[in-house]
């Protein structure tokens, strides 16, 4: 408990103060400074953690020294911090983020075993990658799932190793860190909503409610993988790009491409947005910019230097082939039958049309319990379909808002969005290497979903009251089937009264059983399999299971029913936030 509180304090300080010290005097708005400070702080922590890894610096002393410097920088900037927090908009953003974090931690505290659809192992892979940096495993250590180490970029794992080095390498602390970092995406979304719609007073709390009740956002925040932090940098980059475009500001434009470089270092799904903004800049903006060559050189140099911190090291250690060809976007594409063009077209269709409307085998859903069957059925709609990932009603409203924007487009900026959506949708699907019969929204399209929810929050008050009531009903359904039911099924674990998982049998799906077996890698091994389990522990985790009673402890293993009660108590808060924003009141909005 004490380590968890200490970890949250460290996260709050170190994810903000170093960056804020450097941006506080810029001529940016206070919300812009808040988001820029977070983005820069994480880049600085990544740079320090990378340098410590290269120099083989282990032990907590050096990392505590960095945290002390972060605290000292915060003290030096305390007057500017007070000014920042006293600004109404940033205060609302921070308050809404705090409530969203509390809500998400309560959901996380319900989870005792990850499951859903066919998902298995990604959470474990990222834990091992974090331990790789934390304990400086040998560079030839095999990664869980059979991946080569360069198959995934390292930024979020290095950041988490930075914080765990000052607490401990327990899995529940790893969960806390990933959840906090993934939820940061909320902050730049509040900022970007200004570029989508004007004078929507309640948009911050409305956006928080849409996030809290959205199955894809909550799943990506509580599942320990890296995609939402990458989306944080994508959304931040889009804001800086648009602001730099409007104000002819070289610093903001450079910040946009540095943010996208950081996003790529978190997860390669940020790549399509880097390609889009680079092409848009060169085709539409380059000739119009003052000192365009200097701006281009600055942005390319800064972003390239950040990317080189990973790619140059990986090439030197693992070689160019492993660095660029070991990602599943490449390895899986080489094995696709029928050619990649057919695969891309099929994946795009399946990502837009939910599987119940297609002739798809649902063998994956078969399991003894009805709750598990219903959860997996809903899961495979909410997580893999890009439209319903925004909600059963919310996604349809977003399509309506996009159609309005298409008919009323008047400015170059509106055209920018209408080009971005189809370009990045198709490219994001195209870069996925495997054929996915349920769709690929969960793999590459989180940025699209987050942008859609941001548009929904920004333009919601311009819609009719009937549409608002429909959205409210849809969010209640989304919460019931995609958030609460998901967390309740993930709460399943063996107890003295009920056996859900045994050595070879399960009351849920086969993928749920695999996740449970990996959680209890040594503790659940029988006498016959114990030597094999111990050998696997030594190969993949260098004895981590042996040092931790043979199993991982989830945050949900420490909590009882209070987390479920807290979720149910907070649910009316989000419904009230939605209800207060229903169209037809006194709130006035203006399209951007």
Residues of the chain where predicted confidence (pLDDT) is lower than 70: 197-201, 332-335, 584-592
The confidence score (pLDDT) of residue 201 equals 58
**How many angstroms separate the most distant Cα atoms in the chain?**
72
Specify the long-range contacts of residues 49-52, CB closer than 8 Å, at least 24 apart. Answer: 49/133, 49/158, 49/159, 49/161, 49/162, 50/154, 50/158, 50/309, 50/310, 50/313
> Which residues on neighbouring strands pair with residue 197, listed in sequence order?
591
Which of the 8 DSSP states describes residue 481? I
The confidence score (pLDDT) of residue 199 equals 55
Query: In this structure, what token pair is assigned to residue 543?
Result: 């004895």
**Alpha helices, DSSP H only, in 27-116?**
30-54, 60-76, 78-86, 88-108
Helix (H, G, I), strand (E, B) or coil at 136: coil
The confidence score (pLDDT) of residue 584 equals 61
> Which residues on neighbouring strands pair with residue 143, listed in sequence order?
147
Q: Where are the domains of the chain?
A: 2-490+562-591, 510-558
Asked if residue 124 lies in contact with residue 516, where contact means CB atoms within 8 angstroms, the answer is: no
List of residues 6+ apart from 52 with CB closer than 8 A? 62, 63
Neighbour count for residue 430 (Cβ, 10 Å): 20
- Rounded Cα distance, 574 and 213, in Å: 8
Query: In this structure, what token pair is assigned to residue 575?
Result: 């419904």
**Alpha-carbon 49 to chain mean position:** 21
pLDDT tens per residue, range 70-129: 999 999 999 999 999 999 999 999 999 999 999 999 999 999 999 999 999 999 999 999
pLDDT tens per residue, range 180-235: 999 999 999 999 987 776 655 578 999 999 999 999 999 999 999 999 999 999 99
The confidence score (pLDDT) of residue 240 equals 97
Q: Which of 556, 408, 391, 410 has the alpha carbon at shortest distance from 489?
A: 556
pLDDT tens per residue, range 307-338: 999 999 999 999 999 999 888 777 766 667 77
Q: What would the DSSP string read from start to end of 497-561?
A: S--SB-SS-BSS-HHHHHHHHHHTTTTT--TTTHHHHHHHIIIIITTHHHHTTTS---HHHH--T
Evaluated on CA atoms 46, 263, 387, 101, the torsion sign reads positive
- Rounded Cα distance, 297 and 274, in Å: 16
The confidence score (pLDDT) of residue 333 equals 67
Task: Provide the terminal-to-terminal Cα distance of the chain, rounded to the nearest Å.
Answer: 46
> Which residues on neighbouring strands pair with residue 198, listed in sequence order?
590
H/E stretch holding 197: strand 197-198
List of residues 6+ apart from 264 with CB closer than 8 A? 153, 230, 270, 271, 274, 307
Asked if residue 240 lies in contact with residue 252, where contact means CB atoms within 8 angstroms, the answer is: yes
Query: In this structure, what token pair is assigned to residue 225?
Result: 């993988």
Asked if residue 286 lies in contact with residue 292, where contact means CB atoms within 8 angstroms, the answer is: yes
- Rounded Cα distance, 390 and 452, in Å: 7
Asked if residue 200 lies in contact with residue 193, where contact means CB atoms within 8 angstroms, the answer is: yes
């Amino acid at each position: 408990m004490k380590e968890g509180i200490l970890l949250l304090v460290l996260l709050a300080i170190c994810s903000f103060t170093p960056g804020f010290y450097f941006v506080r005097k810029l001529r940016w708005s206070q919300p812009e400074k808040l988001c820029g400070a977070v983005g820069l702080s994480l880049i600085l922590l990544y740079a320090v953690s990378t340098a410590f890894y290269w120099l083989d610096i282990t032990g907590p002393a050096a990392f505590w020294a960095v945290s002390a410097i972060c605290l000292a920088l915060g003290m030096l900037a305390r007057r500017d911090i007070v000014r920042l927090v006293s600004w109404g908009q940033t205060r609302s953003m921070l308050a809404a983020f705090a409530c969203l974090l509390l809500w998400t931690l309560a959901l996380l505290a319900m989870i005792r075993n990850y499951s859903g659809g066919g998902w298995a192992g990604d959470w474990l892979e990222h834990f091992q990658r974090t331990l790789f940096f934390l304990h400086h495993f040998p560079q030839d250590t095999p990664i869980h799932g059979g991946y080569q180490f360069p198959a995934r970029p390292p930024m979020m794992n290095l950041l988490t190793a930075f914080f765990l080095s000052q607490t401990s390498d327990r899995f529940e602390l790893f969960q806390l860190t990933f959840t906090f970092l993934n939820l940061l995406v909320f902050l730049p979304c509040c900022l970007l909503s200004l570029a989508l719609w004007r004078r929507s007073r309640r948009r911050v709390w409305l956006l928080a409610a849409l996030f809290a009740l959205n199955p894809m956002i909550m799943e990506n925040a509580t599942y320990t993988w890296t995609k939402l932090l990458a989306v944080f940098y994508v959304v931040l980059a889009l804001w800086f790009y648009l602001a730099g475009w409007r104000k002819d500001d070289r610093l903001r434009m450079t910040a946009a491409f540095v943010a996208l470089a950081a996003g790529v270092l978190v997860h390669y799904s940020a790549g399509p947005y880097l390609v889009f903004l680079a092409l848009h800049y060169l085709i539409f903006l380059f000739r119009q910019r003052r000192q365009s060559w200097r701006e281009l050189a600055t942005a390319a140099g800064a972003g390239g230097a950040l990317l080189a911190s990973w790619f140059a090291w990986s090439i030197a250690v693992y070689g160019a082939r492993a660095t660029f060809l070991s990602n599943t976007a490449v390895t899986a594409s080489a094995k696709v039958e029928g050619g990649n063009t057919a695969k891309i077209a099929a994946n795009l269709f399946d990502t837009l049309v939910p599987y119940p409307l297609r002739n798809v085998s649902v063998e994956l859903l078969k399991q003894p319990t009805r709750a598990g069957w219903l959860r997996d059925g809903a899961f495979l709609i909410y997580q893999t379909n890009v439209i319903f990932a925004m909600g059963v009603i919310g996604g349809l409203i977003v399509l309506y808002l996009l159609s309005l924007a298409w008919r009323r487009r008047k400015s170059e900026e509106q055209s920018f969005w209408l080009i971005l959506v189809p370009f990045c949708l198709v490219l994001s699907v195209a870069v996925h290497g495997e054929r996915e019969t349920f769709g690929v929204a969960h793999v590459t399209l989180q940025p699209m979903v987050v942008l859609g929810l941001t548009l929904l929050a920004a333009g919601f008050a311009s819609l009719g009251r009937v549409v608002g009531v429909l959205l409210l009903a849809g969010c209640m359904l989304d919460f019931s089937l995609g958030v609460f039911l998901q967390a309740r099924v993930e709460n399943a674990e063996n107890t003295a009264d009920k056996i859900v998982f045994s050595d070879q049998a399960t009351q849920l799906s086969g993928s749920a059983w695999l996740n449970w077996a990996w959680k209890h890698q040594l503790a659940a091994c029988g006498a016959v399999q114990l030597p094999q389990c111990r050998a696997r522990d030594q190969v993949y985790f260098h004895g981590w299971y042996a040092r931790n009673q043979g199993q991982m402890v989830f945050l949900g293993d420490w909590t009882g029913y209070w987390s479920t009660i807290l979720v149910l108590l907070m649910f009316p808060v989000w419904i009230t936030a939605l209800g207060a924003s229903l169209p037809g009141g006194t709130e006035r909005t203006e399209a951007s």
